[in-house]
Structure 1
């Protein structure tokens, strides 16, 4: 399964990155996340976090790529499936483009996609729109 969404955010990359990497506060931005527990300190290469989402089992995610102010990718493994999620920002004509992707691979990935595909797509969209709203409110508090 591959899920991808892109949104343009009317805020600077530094604002978006700060919110994006403050994973413990993601529940403030989206109803798709109940709780995030950092297991190894702040988000950085090899750091782990336990993510609790409604209707899904808690999952431990490990950061596998980290390029400050540009991208962080993490992965979660469960029997028969590996899920990789990337969070990428790029400056775009006075705004910041946020691209979220989620890929699932492994022998059980097709079954997981059938069972949770619609929910997963909805959650990725909720996370992008929630971050957009939070970043724009932080960048333009007078609105």
Structure 2
């Protein structure tokens, strides 16, 4: 499964980045996240976080790519499937940003997991993008 959503956010890149990388506060932005606990602080490359979401088992995510003020990707592994989520800030000429969130699942069980949870996962990523937009725009 591969799902991608891009939202335009009327806020400065720094504002959006600071909210995006503050993963423990994501439950304040979206109902798709119940809790996030950073297991390795500070939150940067190789950090792990335990993420709890409604209707899904808690998962540990490990940051596999991190470029301050621009992007981070983290992965969660379970038997037969690896899920990767990328979070990209794309600056626009007017000083605002577009944010692209991408969710990709790979592995022998990815097609089955996609059938079982794909619709919910797409809904949650959309909720997260919209929640980030709302929180970022109200912070300015």
- 1:120 and 1:42 map into 2 onto residues whose CA distance is 27
- 1:42 and 1:104 map into 2 onto residues whose CA distance is 26
In the alignment, which residue of structure 2 is the partner of 1:109?
Answer: 110
- Aligned pairs for 1:37-56 (under 5 A) are 37-56=37-56
- 1:93 and 1:19 map into 2 onto residues whose CA distance is 21
Spell out structure 1 runs of 4+ moving beyond 4 A: none
- Aligned pairs for 1:63-142 (under 5 A) are 63-94=63-94, 95-139=96-140
Aligned residues: 139
Cα displacement (A) at 1:93: 2.9
SS class of match (1:58): strand
SS class of match (2:56): coil
In the alignment, which residue of structure 2 is the partner of 1:6?
Answer: 6
Unaligned runs of 5+ in 1: none
- Tell which deviates more after alignment, 85-94 or 96-105: 85-94
- Please list the CA deviations of residues 66-122 of structure 1 after superposition, one character each: whole Å capped at 9, or x if unmatched: 000100000000000000000000111321110000000000000000000100000
RMSD between aligned alpha carbons? 0.5
Unaligned runs of 5+ in 2: none
Cα displacement (A) at 1:18: 0.0
- Please list the CA deviations of residues 37-82 of structure 1 after superposition, one character each: whole Å capped at 9, or x if unmatched: 0000132000000000000000000000000010000000000000
TM-score (norm: length of structure 2): 0.98
